[in-house]
Structure 1
């Protein structure tokens, strides 16, 4: 017997389907490769696109809209009742002086008074050495802000008051006024501070002016090159400086001045523009 198997016939109707399938795969692959090349070409064109980056600066002179100052009444002594009476009497004097300076009652706030009892510093005047001889020990420096100055307890009183008003000139005048209180009560005042009340509105105006300045600088830099400044590609806000008037620095750090009535605001923006042919 022969072991040869009959040869299976090929179905010729499948050949067109397979050919079409292979053609579709090849076409899709070609499309992907072409898209990748086109994308790279576009990206390269974008990267090679001429552009310019400049900084724009704008300044604005403004006047502070609010002033404030902090003061403290203080007393120190050995008699608690004397200190309490002195503080009450001189507080009334201080309130009268503030009213005479032109401050309204609502513009002045007195905090609650505070007192502290200071105990005398304890010392060991002598100590025996190995031979039993009493030798003096050198005293260490004493912090008299924590201890009494003598051998009996002392008391300290302190009361802080705050003044805040839109009348900045009045605050400045009060900070320079010489005031001497009585009954052992002393007055200390901090440096007056002055703030801007409409800073956000001023910043908006300055940012617009700085953007125009950046565009003007870019146009100056490309003038005569046969090109012109096109659309802005990117913009970012830089430093904001609030300085005393006419004392603006060129630092790249933000800064705020709290101690001048007349101030100058300086805003910097960085912008990137497209350069196009004229």
Structure 2
């Protein structure tokens, strides 16, 4: 971690909203939703109280990861327009408080998930926090353009954790839910990096756009989107798939692939002329992509429970 000099207002006292922002609530919403789907589509039922407690502690663990990331990345966040207003670089919360909160919530969430559900799920949650805070934030992010490829695993674990809460084990379905998020992460973030490259340049983060240029990044987006499509559609042929998911996955991945092809065909002159409209559109759709896929799994599970399919 490099030193960051931040000017703290001695008269400002951090409030609940400042500490809550450390937990990256928007990212946490995806963690909660995918973990919930992983739990609900599992073949083993879970008592509602156990299920609620488990999702709560998974959410807390996800928030702990966010706080640890903000503590470590304070120097990077301070020079990036997209992150400069976060609690630590803006001076609303001290780096020490962010670290303390992250460590406390990490221990609390893992222990409580083990007590509420099972220790296999708790161990997977602990590994997820470690992977995001240490493997991704402290190592990959600052050293390799593969940062977001390998690091994407951190965000892919929640549905697997939800599945393990219910079943106590990992199966093909859990692996494929993990794989969908894992393969989705690179094109999602690389699309953002195409029109936010200056941020990564300024912060010295070796994002693919910085190390290999936008032309290479565009090709990589297409390749990873093409690899993602069969994985996402293939999930529909497992025990948790169904007609809603399968039809939705085919349509969404066809649209996603169409967008990736359009990005790959563009050059910087075209992109700058329309202020990266295509890239921004692809990124916005990618935000919906996972929610729609996992929402479709939930719809099929509900229909299956009602005996409709």
TM-score of the alignment, normalized to the shorter chain, above 0.5: no
Larger Rg: 1 or 2?
1
Using CA pairs below 8 Å that are at least 6 residues apart, which structure has the higher relative contact order? 1
Which structure shows the bigger proportion of residues in helix conformation?
2
Which structure shows the bigger proportion of residues in strand conformation?
1
TM-score (norm 2): 0.18
